[in-house]
Amino acid sequence: MESELNDLEKAILLDIGKTHANSHPNLINQILNIQIASREYTGVGVYVNFVFEKNAEVENNNIIKCLATNSSYKLDGLKYPISFELNLTKEGKLEFLELASNGNELWNGTYNSFEQIENE
């Protein structure tokens, strides 16, 4: 198993959880208790794969399976903000978080600092 969430992953997941609190009320609880199974580096980003908790409370089957927010995250060393998306299983459990650079920039998932930018 991999390590804990890093600060960027945690910030993005909590942002998504707050944004979708009404439609996905158990999401924050899942985020606070998530464990990482692995990280897959793609050359332009990373897939952060999660362990499924057997007893985790889930949503109904009519939920959106891919979640994002109106925020952007600018990382040092990258020209453009990264893209991100949280994918859920059909049962509503956290499956993986995809982080990717934009503008054909190579990125191995590392950073020294980041800034959250609220988009309208």
Domain that holds residue 113: 7-118
Structural domain total, the chain: 1
Residue 1: inside a domain: no
pLDDT, position 3: 75
Residue 112: inside a domain: yes
Q: What letter would DSSP give residue 82?
A: B
User: At 65, is the pLDDT very low, low, confident or very high (cuts 50, 70, 90)?
Assistant: confident
For the stretch 45-59, pLDDT in tens is 999 999 876 555 555
For the stretch 8-52, pLDDT in tens is 999 999 999 999 999 888 899 999 989 999 999 999 999 999 987
Do the Cβ atoms of 50 and 35 come closer than 8 Å?
Answer: yes
Residue 94: inside a domain: yes
